[in-house]
Amino acid sequence: MPDTTTAYQALEKKFARLSAISGAAAMLHWDSAAMMPPGGAEARSEQLATLSLLSHEILTSGEISDLLDGAEDDAAVLTNWQQANLREMRNRWCHATAVKPDLVEAQSRATSRCEMLWREARLNNDFASFAPSMEEVILLTRRIADAKSAAFSLAPYDSLLDEYEPGCTSDSIDRIFSDLEIFLPDFLAAVLERQKSDPPPVPPKGPFNQEMQKALGLEFMTSLGFDFNHGRLDISHHPFTGGIPDDVRLTTRYETEDFAQSLMGTLHETGHALYEQGLPREWRSQPVGAARGMALHESQSLLIEMQLSRSEDFLAFALPKIKAAFGGDGAAWDEENIRRLYQKVEPGFIRVDADEVTYPLHVMLRYRLEKALLAGDLAVKDLPAAWNSGMRNVLGITPPNDRLGCLQDIHWPSGAIGYFPTYTLGALAAAQIYRAAGQKIPDLATKVRAGRFEDLIAWLRENIHSLGSSLPTGDIMTSATGSPLETEAFKAHLRNRYLK
Amino acid sequence: MPDTTTAYQALEKKFARLSAISGAAAMLHWDSAAMMPPGGAEARSEQLATLSLLSHEILTSGEISDLLDGAEDDAAVLTNWQQANLREMRNRWCHATAVKPDLVEAQSRATSRCEMLWREARLNNDFASFAPSMEEVILLTRRIADAKSAAFSLAPYDSLLDEYEPGCTSDSIDRIFSDLEIFLPDFLAAVLERQKSDPPPVPPKGPFNQEMQKALGLEFMTSLGFDFNHGRLDISHHPFTGGIPDDVRLTTRYETEDFAQSLMGTLHETGHALYEQGLPREWRSQPVGAARGMALHESQSLLIEMQLSRSEDFLAFALPKIKAAFGGDGAAWDEENIRRLYQKVEPGFIRVDADEVTYPLHVMLRYRLEKALLAGDLAVKDLPAAWNSGMRNVLGITPPNDRLGCLQDIHWPSGAIGYFPTYTLGALAAAQIYRAAGQKIPDLATKVRAGRFEDLIAWLRENIHSLGSSLPTGDIMTSATGSPLETEAFKAHLRNRYLK
């Protein structure tokens, strides 16, 4: 190495290149969902596979390994951010090198096949035809978990979890989930009892013009500070936030008879997008500049959707605009009716449709089942029965078929074990962060009612977004809210919203 | 090398990877023009530069060099298509390795800067401020031409030409252009004289609804056989055909007061798109499966736009649809008026706005000037004077400023010397191919009047598109039309359309 370039500087160059490749892949992924004609799929999957392979080759090269060793030897001269960047680099390198290439490739082939079979199985409500492929994915995922477990000195499940929520362990999840398991059942029963005494909310009647729905979504995105110079809004079958921090591609879908689904979906994705747009500008090409993890990412979408947008204060601001857009009139457009509609709690079969009270129960069931699948304590063939009995236990309802049961999510077919808990960790974090913001920002409620979100967004930017991955999730939570992630704020929020 | 894989097979794998990378870059390039918000530009240029660098590294690796040598030693066992593929691989390798990396990088930096300065210079009509940067680009392009000249044993200009139109030499261009230089001036004078006696065509009055313009464009694209399962139509400032053969991204732009500009532009790009969609499916990831060169590519767009769409037969089919779309009524919508409008010949300053009679004169001027610039016979500072005197000579008009003169095209600032002649070679080829198609397809004129283009497209697919790069351009022309590229069909077409 020439002595004018340190190992650390050389690493920054390498990771900037990796960032450009993964950024290119992110744009192509968005295109696949939002723009691509069906006939482009085959070539696109070649493009994405090639970019992924190139990244993997660069990241696992002996050169990077030597540079990491060299930079770590000299870490004392680095700034805090550089040291954090180096830690993130090493973590990515560990994840990439822990698993042998042939296992990575086998898993990639198996999950592609399994996802395809899953789509058919879900359509035809046919778990049996898909079970052998899912069995294969679980088997390979277990081998990956074992390999990572050895490399990270973590329990197998925790080593998978680390990819989505670095530093998180199932011990800490167990503590949090045990608490919710005690709280939620009684709370849910109380809320259901309470809502029974209210008149049932009536959905406003459509059709709702799609252009108008889009205009409304754009208006709220603008109010919340989404930067359209660095992003756009389009349509895809499954709404998501894609692209890169400099060019965030947000998608939604429009239902003619229900404007709220798209609107709430757009607000949810806007929360993700604001996090991306608020990441530290000078570190964007480096690992330390990336979002901290899935739990904090979900916290930002749920803060905007659940904490903010379904609140009475937000409704006071938003409803007049919504009514004006659709010419809404009559009892269904009454503020109290709309509030009850947005805050309705009801056990259901589908996780993505769940309200914020029952959602954690869906997640905790999946968490328990995926740990059992990975450990080999639950066979894939026994999953439907375990699922249905779990649903009966936690929500008191039994899915009439696997389509509405264990076939509803793509996570397991795609090999994503360890992802589900982050949804609920995010919900807890959202409540905790929103409460802290409310304590720090004078008159937040009044500002929300007036559609003035600048202070809230600025606070989130300063305390969450701009930190990137410079600190562990727990430290970010503590510095922003005064304590690490806990259940207290979430429970207080639920009590306040649903039982007051 | 394991003996189960031949060198040739290993090369196919390498080039499939290169194809996936360049395909990814092509989609991102389309996105930059059609979708990307301005703030995404910086990150995008990093992504594209990284993909380009990766491609270059792969292509110039010692491994590819060894494989090429090995495969060429064993070429006798290969099929014709494989042999042609190997030739194309070698040609790409030669272009990539002929120039030292530091020169490639210097040129890339210089042209980026020069393009930026060119945009400002054109806006402000300020040649002087841009001349030094253009001087630098010419200097570097000359060094590249010298390096390629040595590698290919070609004249410097021809070695640049080879990248856009492989196998073409300035000798062959000189022969063709000399012929046109004799023919065109008198012919142009005769056409102008003839058109003077007609009443001047009146453009139909707008505004023309943009959604309707788009619907019309989509309708004609469909009639012509554009496959929307493998492509789409969007808007960009400069219309172009991008993407990949499996997913062709065509763009246009809409003028409220002039529907013909978008419509003809869309038809032109559809010609390019049909070529891409018709390339041999089984060779798409390989060099031999790519379009043959810029001349044939332009021939396909001009065949659809100029030969077909501006013909009286096409107008008989199209005009009723256009009138119905816009509710057109009155004298301006008369078929004879519209024909005169689409076939109007008039010397003008701007190449891209030129009719098919004066267009070659614009091109021949640029060809003469770019050869002189490259050879050092013309200094950049003397370009405006040379341009203006050239325009006086060939078209009898003097640009009032450099914006309407030598600052109008991006080609030279971006280092593309050797590109301009392909426009006119394409126009000649279009006439020659369309005449051959007319001789082979029974009742083509009747079919065109009825909007039945299947036979024409099928003939183009069989005789041009599906050949990819399996043969040199001259051989494709000879097998499709009975003779190599010549001026005769073009002159006959012009006489027939403009003096009959």
- Domain limits of chain B? 1-98, 155-500
pLDDT at B499 over 90: yes
Take residue A178 and report the two structure tokens written for it.
């045990």
The two three-digit tokens of residue B444, written as one number: 């083509």
Confidence check: pLDDT of B4 > 80:
no
- Interface A–B counts its CB contacts (< 8 A) at 107
Q: Does the structure show a pLDDT above 70 at A4? A: no
The answer to whether the beta carbons of residues B308 and B447 sit under 8 Å apart is no
Residue A242, classed as helix, strand or coil, is: strand
pLDDT for A32 beyond 60: yes
Active-site annotation of A, residues:
269
Q: Which residues of B touch A232 (CB under 8 A)?
A: 35, 37
Does residue A2 have a pLDDT over 50?
Answer: no
pLDDT at B3 over 80: no
What does each C-alpha distance from A227 to A218, A231, A449 come to in angstroms? 11, 6, 22
The pLDDT value given to residue B177? 98
Query: How far, CA to CA in Å, does B398 sit from each of A116, B386, B389?
Result: 64, 11, 7
Q: What is the DSSP string of B459-475?
A: HHHHHTGGGTTSS-HHH
Own/partner long-range contacts of A205-214 (Cβ < 8 Å, ≥24 apart)? A205/A332, A206/A256, A206/A257, A206/A258, A206/A259, A207/A256, A207/A257, A208/A254, A208/A255, A208/A256, A208/A257, A208/A258, A208/A259, A208/A326, A209/A326, A210/A254, A210/A256, A212/A325, A212/A326, A213/A254, A213/A259, A213/A262, A213/A263, A214/A254
Cβ separation A24–B20 shorter than 8 A: no
Q: Determine, for residues A247 and B24 on separate chains, whether the beta-carbon distance falls below 8 Å.
A: no
The pLDDT, as a whole number, for residue B2 is: 45
Pairing of strands A247-252, A231-235: parallel
Mean pLDDT within A347-353: 96
Structure tokens, A86: 């180096």
B242 three-state secondary structure = strand
Instruction: Write out the CATH class of domain A153-500.
Output: mainly alpha
| pLDDT tens-digit map of A262-284 | 999 999 999 999 999 999 999 99
Q: Which residue of B has its CA nearest to A47?
A: B20
- pTM, two decimals, is 0.95
Q: What is the pLDDT of residues B133-176, one digit of tens each?
A: 999 999 999 999 999 999 999 999 999 999 999 999 999 999 99
A36, A50, A221, A249: which to substitute to probe chain B, counting the most B Cβ within 10 Å?
A: A50
**Pairing relation of β-strands B247-252 and A241-244?**
unpaired
Among partner residues A54, A229, A284, which is closest to B37 by beta-carbon distance?
Answer: A229
A16 CB near a chain B CB, below 8 Å? yes
Q: Establish if B46 touches chain A: CB-CB under 8 angstroms.
A: yes
Provide the pLDDT for residue B304: 98
Q: What is the C-alpha separation between B19 and B468, in angstroms, rounded?
A: 15
Judged by a CB distance cut-off of 8 A, whether residue A289 touches chain B is: no
The pLDDT value recorded for residue A1 is 44
Tell me the β-bridge partners of B251.
B234
Q: Do B246 and A40 touch (CB under 8 A)?
A: yes
B176-201, pLDDT tens digit by residue?
999 999 999 999 999 999 999 999 99
Mean pLDDT of A9-32: 97
pLDDT digits 0-9 by tens, A216-239: 999 999 999 999 999 999 999 999
Quick check: B39 and A284 CB within 8 A?
Answer: no
- Going by CATH, does the domain composed of B155-500 fall within 1.10.1370.30? yes
Residues 353-382 of chain A with CB under 8 A from chain B are none
**Residue B369 CA to its chain's centroid (Å):** 20
In degrees and rounded to multiples of 5, residue B354 shows phi and psi of -75, 150
Query: Which residue has tokens 């979708």?
Result: B35
- Asked if B24 and A28 come within 8 Å (Cβ–Cβ), the reply is yes
Q: How far apart are CA B93 and CA B102, in angstroms?
A: 17
Chain B contact set for A61 (CB, 8 A): none
Whether the CB of A21 is below 8 Å from some CB of chain B: the reply is yes
In this model, does residue A40 exceed pLDDT 90? yes
Count of H-run helices and E-run strands, chain A: 20, 3
Collect all residues of chain B within an 8 Å Cβ-Cβ radius of residue A52: none
Average pLDDT for residues A16-26, to the nearest whole number?
Answer: 97
pLDDT (tens digit, 9 = 90+) per residue, A418-466?
999 999 999 999 999 999 999 999 999 999 999 999 999 999 999 999 9
How does residue A101 score in pLDDT terms, banded at 50, 70 and 90? confident
d(CA B27, CA A32): 11
Measured between beta carbons, which residues in chain A are less than 8 angstroms from residue B230? 37, 39-40
Compare CB distances from A229 to B39, B228, B246 and report the shortest one's residue.
Answer: B39
Distances (CA, A) of A28 to A25, A49, A183, B46, B451: 5, 11, 43, 15, 37
Whether B229 and A43 lie within 8 Å, measured CB to CB = no
What rounded mean pLDDT belongs to chain B? 96
A402 vs A110, A112, A407, CA distance in Å?
22, 21, 5
Residue A88 tokens, joined: 């993130």
Q: Are strands A241-244 and A247-252 parallel, antiparallel or unpaired?
A: antiparallel
- C-alpha–C-alpha distance, residues B237 and B36, integer Å: 12
Structure tokens at B382: 């003397």
Confidence at residue B305, expressed as pLDDT on a 0 to 100 scale: 97
Return the ∠ at Cα B244 (arms to B242 and B248), rounded to 5°: 60
**Tens digits of per-residue pLDDT, B198-243?**
999 999 999 999 999 999 999 999 999 999 999 999 999 999 999 9
- What is the residue-averaged pLDDT of chain A? 96
**Phi then psi dihedrals of residue A265, to 5 deg:** -60, -45
Give residue B1's pLDDT: 44
Please state the rounded mean pLDDT for residues A167-185.
97
Cα separation, A412 vs B143, whole angstroms: 57
Report CA Rg, chain B.
Answer: 23
Would you say residue A417 has pLDDT above 60?
yes
Q: Which residues of B touch A37 (CB under 8 A)?
A: 228-232, 247
Residue B5 pLDDT? 75
Distance from CA of B35 to the nearest CA of A (A): 9
Q: Looking at the predicted structure, is the pLDDT value of residue A3 above 80?
A: no
**How far apart, in whole angstroms, are the C-alpha atoms of residue A339 and residue A201?**
8
